[in-house]
Chains A and B, each alone.
Chain A
Amino acid sequence: MNMELTFPEDAREARARSDRNLSDVERWASLAAGAALTAYGLSRLRSNGWIFAGVGGLLLRRGVTAHCDIYEAVGLNTAGTADDTRAALRGPRGVNVLESVTINRPIEQLYRFWRNLENLPQFMSHLESVEKVTDTISHWRAKGPAGSVLEWNAEIFNEVPNKLIAWRSLEGADVVSAGSVNFDQAAAGRGTRVTVHLQYSPLGGKVGAALARLFGADAETEIREDLRRFKQLLEAGEVPTTAGQPRG
């Protein structure tokens, strides 16, 4: 049913590259420091040298694999692989969100509304604007934390009219993300089922951590409320509100 975002690359080398988040300089520094510490520790095993040997071992591993767990946890990447959407979202690395909603409108109308990406900020509350660059490439601006603005380009890389739209961010994105939306006929007379699958990665360079906060701890809630507004707009023609009404 869902468009899984997979990037067919069978080379083992490519997989190793995708795990890298260290630059070559850091890699060699890790190897050198790791070797020295290990040798020093092993020579003084009787007076707590095992601690130095252990840390040295970890540094050696960091150097050999070119992968740092701490960097990954805080969203740092010095290897230059973060700009690659495929690498950034591979396997368990990206955050995955899957939400669906049933809308009492014909498939064609919903597809047409969504395919005009400039409509998306009408119901996606964190988006400021989406501008069409070419038919498949668009420029996205989103509200970041503390009044900042996050920007990226995205391309539609797969579309089946009245069925599927899939997109991914392009290189240099503040937000590394990819997503798809599927439109399916619900059972007779029950409208259209709209399913959104979104992946994004906090390994987005300088704003990786900011992005995590942007989506909050609960990206599913964000997407669910966006889909609710999409449904309200298409079914009721407006998003219900009480903002601005009187109170005592």
Chain B
Amino acid sequence: MKALCWYATDDVRVERVPDPEILNPRDAIIKVTLTAICGSDLHLLDGFIPTMKRGDILGHEFMGEVVAVGRDIKKLKIGDRVVVPFTIACGGCYFCQQGLWAACDNSNPNAWMLEAAYGFSGSGLFGYSHMMGGYAGGQAEYVRVPFADVGPYKVPDELSDEQVLFLTDIFPTGYMAAENCAITPGDTVAVWGCGPVGQFCMASAWLLGAGRVIGIDREPDRLRMAADKSKAEVLDLTKVDVYEALKDLTGGRGPDACVDAVGMEAHGNTIGDWYDKAKTATMMATDRLGALRQAIHCCRKGGTVSVPGVYGGLLDKVPIGAAFAKGLTMKMGQTHVHRYLPALMGHIQRGAIDPSYVITHRARLDDAPKAYKTFRAKRDGCIKVVMKP
């Protein structure tokens, strides 16, 4: 089959590789009908995520048709059309049973690696480095899905692939980020990063009863989408002082909740941002955290900072003093996709939201390397790329 493989920083290629096979009794094989490039895939392209190996197949947002099942799979049949959560969960451990699917104890075959780095390991992920399990990803014609009686979720016939694909990651991720804001009716939610996760976070904030939603970015196309499609007020961080602007918009109080939907590769022009760029460029730091610093700084007293943006390492100059002094609540983490999937599928079926609005580019899998570069450069208004194998 064809698959998008990682070879080195800035080097991804479409290669011919063997088809996947059933390896465990609870596996299924999915024939991919639609897949996407995630913003977090760019961290792989940029070499920010350790334990990648040459030839690793990328991709954790994918859906398709079941073409084979292991002997213990009872819930899925060949021919079923499913979306597949990017977090792999066994369903039997304490964490899965608490609904903390992304904290699954049993799905990461390389758990020891993360235990060394983080103390404990979360769930395995598709196509996202060996410390996250080393599972081959879904930017391919076929993909093997472990614990397939837990993750894959059947899609109603009337919904198109483009409408449901983002249930695999970014829609639930944006939704959980908004839910982590503990929104009460009338709250103001400010979202740093108007990429796809930021867009879905803004849309979800409305679904959860926010009174005002503010999107912050520096890309005109993304700000336009935030205003037009996610119905947010927008701030261009290259044009205004974000802290002053947010104060003005909130009667001097600050947003009730601030969301960092940017993560470890933030771009900015403050002294702190240049400090991070210098340190990461010289391998003295692992993450750039301009968005996180600003979110903490701008948040109202007693407010919430929610972090769906991915961080990987040890962060420098985090304003914990400000967070402490203001009594902030901070929530973060990998998305418990399984928990949100049924309800969000319901929202789509009811017509409350059509997540396909973030798609700006449609490509063939063969063009994936080019699509990665376009997406990274935000060239041609690129916000979200979907690909057909």
A contacts, CB < 8 Å to B: 102, 104, 190-191, 221, 224-225, 228, 231-232, 235-248
B72, B92, B107, B111 — which one has the most chain A CB atoms within 10 A of its CB?
Answer: B92
A237 and B71 CA atoms in complex are apart in Å by 12
A68 and B25 CA atoms in complex are apart in Å by 54
Q: Which residue in chain A gives the minimum CB-CB distance to B58?
A: A248
B93 A104 Cβ-Cβ under 8 A: yes
Known: A238-B26, A239-B24. 12 other contacts (CB 8 A): A102-B94, A104-B92, A104-B94, A221-B112, A236-B106, A237-B72, A238-B24, A240-B107, A242-B109, A242-B134, A245-B135, A247-B55
Selected from A232, A237, A246, the residue in CB contact (under 8 A) with B17 is A246
B124 A240 Cβ-Cβ under 8 A: yes
A237 and B57 CA atoms in complex are apart in Å by 26
Q: Which residue in chain B gives the minimum CB-CB distance to A190?
A: B94
Q: Which residue in chain A gives the minimum CB-CB distance to B12?
A: A248
Cβ of B3 < 8 Å from any Cβ of A? Answer: yes
Selected from A235, A244, A248, the residue in CB contact (under 8 A) with B106 is A235
A104 B23 Cβ-Cβ under 8 A: no
* A225-B90 CB under 8 A given contacts A237-B25, A245-B144: no
Cβ of B306 < 8 Å from any Cβ of A? Answer: no
CB proximity of A6 to chain B, nearest CB, Å = 32
A190, A221, A237, A239 — which one has the most chain B CB atoms within 10 A of its CB?
Answer: A237
Selected from A102, A104, A191, A248, the residue in CB contact (under 8 A) with B57 is A248
Interface pairs (12), CB distance under 8 Å: A104-B92, A104-B94, A237-B72, A237-B92, A240-B24, A240-B106, A240-B108, A241-B23, A245-B23, A246-B136, A248-B54, A248-B57
Q: Which residue in chain B gives the minimum CB-CB distance to A228?
A: B111
Which residues of B are found within 8 Å of A239, using beta-carbon distances?
Answer: 24, 109
Please provide the chain B residues from 178 to 193 with a CB less than 8 Å away from any CB of chain A in the complex.
Answer: none
Q: Which residue in chain B gives the minimum CB-CB distance to A191?
A: B94
A235 B20 Cβ-Cβ under 8 A: no
Selected from B56, B106, B136, B144, the residue in CB contact (under 8 A) with A232 is B106
B92 A235 Cβ-Cβ under 8 A: yes
A245 B20 Cβ-Cβ under 8 A: yes
Which residues of A are found within 8 Å of B7, using beta-carbon distances?
Answer: 248
Main SS class of interface, A: loop
A243 and B105 CA atoms in complex are apart in Å by 19
A235 and B135 CA atoms in complex are apart in Å by 20
Q: Which residue in chain A gives the minimum CB-CB distance to B16?
A: A248
The number of chain B residues with a CB under 8 A from chain A is 44
CB proximity of A164 to chain B, nearest CB, Å = 23
CB proximity of A235 to chain B, nearest CB, Å = 4
Cβ of B97 < 8 Å from any Cβ of A? Answer: yes
Please provide the chain B residues from 119 to 165 with a CB less than 8 Å away from any CB of chain A in the complex.
Answer: 124, 133-136, 140, 144, 146-147
Which residues of B are found within 8 Å of A225, using beta-carbon distances?
Answer: 112
Cβ of B13 < 8 Å from any Cβ of A? Answer: yes
Which residues of A are found within 8 Å of B109, using beta-carbon distances?
Answer: 239-242
CB proximity of A189 to chain B, nearest CB, Å = 8
A246 B19 Cβ-Cβ under 8 A: yes
Which residues of A are found within 8 Å of B93, using beta-carbon distances?
Answer: 104, 231, 235-236
Kindly supply a per-residue 1/0 record for chain B positions 36-65, scoring 1 wherever the CB is within 8 Å of any chain A CB and 0 otherwise: 000000000000000001111100000000
Which residues of B are found within 8 Å of A235, using beta-carbon distances?
Answer: 90, 92-93, 105-106
A248 B55 Cβ-Cβ under 8 A: yes
A235 and B56 CA atoms in complex are apart in Å by 28
Which residues of B are found within 8 Å of A243, using beta-carbon distances?
Answer: 23
Which residues of A are found within 8 Å of B21, using beta-carbon distances?
Answer: 244-245
A224 and B116 CA atoms in complex are apart in Å by 13
Q: Which residue in chain A gives the minimum CB-CB distance to B55?
A: A248
Kindly supply a per-residue 1/0 record for chain B positions 221-251, scoring 1 wherever the CB is within 8 Å of any chain A CB and 0 otherwise: 0000000000000000000000000000000
Which residues of A are found within 8 Å of B57, using beta-carbon distances?
Answer: 246-248
Cβ of B15 < 8 Å from any Cβ of A? Answer: yes
A238 and B148 CA atoms in complex are apart in Å by 13
* A248-B13 CB under 8 A given contacts A238-B24, A240-B106, A241-B24: yes
A241 and B17 CA atoms in complex are apart in Å by 19
Which residues of B are found within 8 Å of A232, using beta-carbon distances?
Answer: 90, 106
Which residues of A are found within 8 Å of B26, using beta-carbon distances?
Answer: 236-238
Which residues of B are found within 8 Å of A228, using beta-carbon distances?
Answer: 111
CB proximity of B350 to chain A, nearest CB, Å = 34
A248 B5 Cβ-Cβ under 8 A: yes
B20, B90, B133 — which one has the most chain A CB atoms within 10 A of its CB?
Answer: B90
B135 A242 Cβ-Cβ under 8 A: yes
Give 3 nearest A-B pairs by CB, closest first.
A248-B5, A248-B55, A236-B90
Cβ of B207 < 8 Å from any Cβ of A? Answer: no
